[in-house]
Amino acid sequence: MAGNHPFSLRALALMSLFAVAAPGPAAGADAYRETYPSAAIDPSRGIAGAGDAAFGSTLQYWQDEKSLEQHKQWIGDPEHEWKLNWKFLDFDRSDDMHPGYLALEAGEKLFKLWAKREPAFRTCLGEGKTDLKGLAATYPKYDPKLKRIMTVESRVEHCAQTALWETFKQGSPANNQISLYFKSLSARAPIRVDTGSAEIMASYRRGEKLFHAKVGQFNFSCASCHTSTGLLGQRFRGQVPTTPFGDAAHFPTYRLALGDIESLQQRFMRCNMQARTKALPPGDPAYTDLEVFYTVLSNDYPVSVPSAR
């Protein structure tokens, strides 16, 4: 997600970085919050929304391998490379090996170790099934038994707690590695978040509001960087913000700048800090809503891990 700066969140109601202090939830609900002008997004279109002018009309350049091949001369050209949405770095479109593959191997070993010791770990991840292929492409999803939205990382955390009595917190190395392996079993499968789910769409709408909400000392929102009326395609602090469409497909991803695997919600944390606002822990409901929003914008794009950014 190089060059992307999603800013958010429940800090909207909790932090004194806002124009009105929010000492508690009730006061925070009435706090004045600036928002970036909303961009029209149709969640039923998935990645097709990247073809809209409000988001740079870049879909034509990165939607498939043929499109990338036709524009590969832009790689390394800062004026045009951003239009490729960094998709030339996806695992199935790059010949380069990177440490993300080592994290994938580590995740596979961890998964097989724990699944052998306690088979319930596998069936928990599989929602009652032992075959995990293609399943991660349907996340995030609403779990009626748990009565909450589950991401891949929260599913790993939940199954570790209930089946193994282990603590693999979201954002931890073990969680990232197992999540990476879990998602790799859906590699090349198109993302299919259920937009027909009332719970998912409620989460999506909350995430959409967070996408446009301004936060922090820089008074930025996600939309400030990722729409054409903002910084999309412009050089900003050494990076060029790109469209948010299709981004969720490559997480957890190997971040070259960090030298480590990073989950999508850890990326939200980092962007919050870059926007000079309070970062929330992975698994926070606000980050989950934002992940739902971002992943719906990746619907129809294939899962691509392990990728590098």
Identify the CA nearest to 179 among candidates 127, 132, 244.
132
Q: Tokens 């925070």, residue? A: 28
Mean pLDDT calculated for residue range 8-37: 48
Asked whether the predicted pLDDT for residue 95 surpasses 50, the reply is yes
Provide the 3-class DSSP secondary structure of residue 254.
strand
* In the chain, domain spans: 11-96+194-296, 100-184
Please say if the pLDDT value at position 15 is more than 50: no
Lowest mean per-residue pLDDT among 78-82, 96-100, 303-307: 96-100
Specify the CATH number for 100-184; select among 1.10.760.10, 3.40.190.290, 3.30.365.10, 3.40.50.620: 1.10.760.10
3-state SS assignment for residue 157: helix
Counting beta carbons within 10 angstroms of the beta carbon of residue 117, is it exposed (0 to 12), middle (13 to 18) or buried (19 or more)?
exposed
Q: Match 């190997």 to its residue by tokens.
A: 254
What global pTM score does this model have? 0.89
> What is the pLDDT averaged over residues 140-163?
98
Element (H or E) spanning 208, and its range?
A: helix 198-212
Separation of alpha carbons 224 and 230, rounded Å: 5
pLDDT tens-digit profile of 67-90? 999 999 999 998 999 999 999 999
**Contact between residue 211 and residue 222 where contact means Cβ atoms under 8 Å apart:** yes
pLDDT in tens, 225-248: 999 998 999 987 778 899 999 999
Please provide the CATH number assigned to the domain covering 11-96+194-296.
1.10.760.10
**Residues in the chain, total:** 309
List the one residue out of 92, 57, 55, 99 whose CA is nearest residue 244. 55
Confidence at 267, pLDDT banded by 50, 70, 90: very high
